[in-house]
Amino acid sequence: MCDFSFEVQAAGTIVALSTPPGRSGIGVIRISGERALDFTRSLVRDPDFSPEPNRVTLKPIFDPDTLEVVDRAVVTFFKSPHSYTGDDVVELSCHGSPPLLLNILDVLLNLGARTADPGEFTMRAVANGRLNLTQAEAVRDLIEAQTHAAVRQAARQLGGELSKRLQPIKDVLLEIIVPLESSLEFVEDDLPEDIARNIEDNLFALSARIDEMADSFRRGRLLKDGLRVALVGRPNVGKSSLFNGLLSSDRAIVTEIPGTTRDTISEVINIEGIPVLIIDTAGVRPSPDKIEQLGIERTRRAIADADLIVAVLDGSLPLINEDEEIVREASSNHCVVALNKSDLESFCSNNAQRIDDNLPLVSVSAKTGKGLDALCAEIIKPFTAGYLDESSFVITNARHYDLLRRTSEALRAAQGLIQENVSEELILANLYEALRFLGEITGETTPEDILSQIFSTFCIGK
The 10s digit of each residue's pLDDT in 25-34 is 999 999 999 9
- Candidates 360, 362, 364, 323; CA nearest to 342 is 364
More confident residue, 208 or 294: 208
Kindly state the percentage of the chain with pLDDT values over 90.
Answer: 39
**1 pLDDT above the threshold of 50:** no
- Phi then psi dihedrals of residue 317, to 5 deg: -130, 150
Count the Cβ atoms, other than its own, within 10 Å of residue 404. Answer: 25
For the segment 347-362, the average pLDDT, to the nearest whole number, is 78
Count of alpha carbons within 13 angstroms of residue 406, beta-carbon side? 16
pLDDT in tens, 225-255: 888 898 988 888 888 888 888 888 666 544 4
Is the pLDDT score of 6 beyond 50? no
Mean pLDDT over each residue of the chain, to the nearest integer: 84
- 420-455 confidence digits (pLDDT tens): 877 778 888 999 999 999 999 988 876 666 667 667
- CA pair distance 397, 256, nearest whole angstrom: 45
pLDDT at 327: 85
Closest CA to 379 of 310, 304, 313: 310
Q: What angle do CA 353, 348, 378 make, to 5 degrees?
A: 70
Confidence class for position 296, pLDDT limits 50, 70, 90: low
The answer to whether the beta carbons of residues 441 and 451 sit under 8 Å apart is no
Neighbours of 374 (CB within 10 A): 15
- For range 143-167, the mean pLDDT: 89
Q: What is the mean pLDDT of residues 57-68?
A: 92
Q: What angle do CA 371, 374, 377 make, to 5 degrees?
A: 155
Q: Which residues contact 410 (CB under 8 A, 6 or more apart)?
A: 430, 431, 433, 434, 437
In the prediction, which pLDDT does 287 show? Answer: 56
Q: What pLDDT is recorded for position 190?
A: 62
Q: Give the pTM.
A: 0.74
Cβ of 125: how many Cβ atoms within 10 Å? 24
Q: What is the pLDDT of residue 322?
A: 84
Count of CB atoms situated within 10 Å of the CB of 432: 14
The mean pLDDT of 382-407, rounded to a whole number, is: 80
Letter for the amino acid at 170?
K
Structure confidence at residue 259 (pLDDT): 47
- Distance from C-alpha of 294 to C-alpha of 317, rounded to nearest angstrom: 27
Closest CA to 287 of 258, 329, 313: 258
pLDDT tens profile 163-197:
999 999 999 988 888 877 776 665 555 666 777 78
Q: Are strands 274-280 and 56-62 parallel, antiparallel or unpaired?
A: unpaired
- Domains in the chain, please, with CATH? 5-130 (3.30.1360.120), 142-216+395-442 (1.20.120.430), 226-384 (3.40.50.300)
Are 133 and 119 within 8 A, CB to CB?
no
Cβ contact 339:363 at 8 Å: yes
Compute the distance between CA of residue 79 and CA of residue 93 in angstroms, rounded to an integer: 17
Q: How many residues does the chain have?
A: 462
pLDDT (tens digit, 9 = 90+) per residue, 71-130? 999 999 999 999 999 999 999 999 999 999 999 999 999 999 999 998 899 999 999 999
What pLDDT is attached to residue 223? 82
User: What is residue 65's predicted lDDT score, i.e. its pLDDT?
Assistant: 85
Of 43-47, 54-58, 320-324, the least confident: 320-324
Which pLDDT value is given to residue 260? 46
User: What's the CA gap between 242 and 362, in Å, rounded?
Assistant: 13
CA distance readout (Å), 442 to 126, 438, 447, 451: 10, 7, 12, 11
